[in-house]
Amino acid sequence: MSQGVGPEQDLEILLDAEKIAKRVRELGGEISADYRGRSPHLVAILKGAWVFLADLIRHLEVEVTVDFMGIASYGASATSSGEVKITKDLDVSIEGRDVLIVEDILDTGRTFHYLQGLLTAHKPKSLKLVTLLDKPSRRVVPVRADYVGFAIPDLFVVGYGLDYAQKYRQLREVRVLRSLPSV
| Active site (catalytic) residues | 107
Of positions 55, 98, 107, 134, contacts ligand IMP by CB under 6 A:
107
**With contacts defined by CB under 6 A, how many residues of the chain interact with ligand IMP?**
16
List the single partner that 162 binds among Mg ion, ligand IMP, none, CB under 5 to 8 Å by kind.
Answer: ligand IMP
User: CA 37 to CA 57: how far, in whole Å?
Assistant: 16
Asked, as a colleague might, if the bond just before 47 is cis with ω within 30 of 0, I would say: yes
β-strand partners of 46 = 70
- Asked if 106 interacts with ligand IMP (CB under 6 A), we say yes
Which of the ranges 15-23, 54-62, 105-113, 116-124 carries the binding residues for ligand IMP, by CB under 6 A?
Answer: 105-113
Q: Which is nearer to ligand IMP, 8 or 103 (CB)?
A: 103
Site string for Mg ion, 23-62 (x = CB under 5 A): -------------------------x--------------
Q: How far is the CB of 71 from Mg ion (least distance, A)?
A: 6
- Let me know: does 125 contact 96? Beta carbons within 8 Å: yes
Crossing angle (nearest 10°) for helices 50-57 and 17-34 = 60
Counting Cα atoms < 13 Å in the Cβ hemisphere of 136 gives: 7
70, 65, 49: which is closest to 97 by C-alpha?
Answer: 65
Name the DSSP class of 167: B
Name the residues that contact ligand IMP, by CB under 6 A: 48, 80, 103-112, 156-158, 162
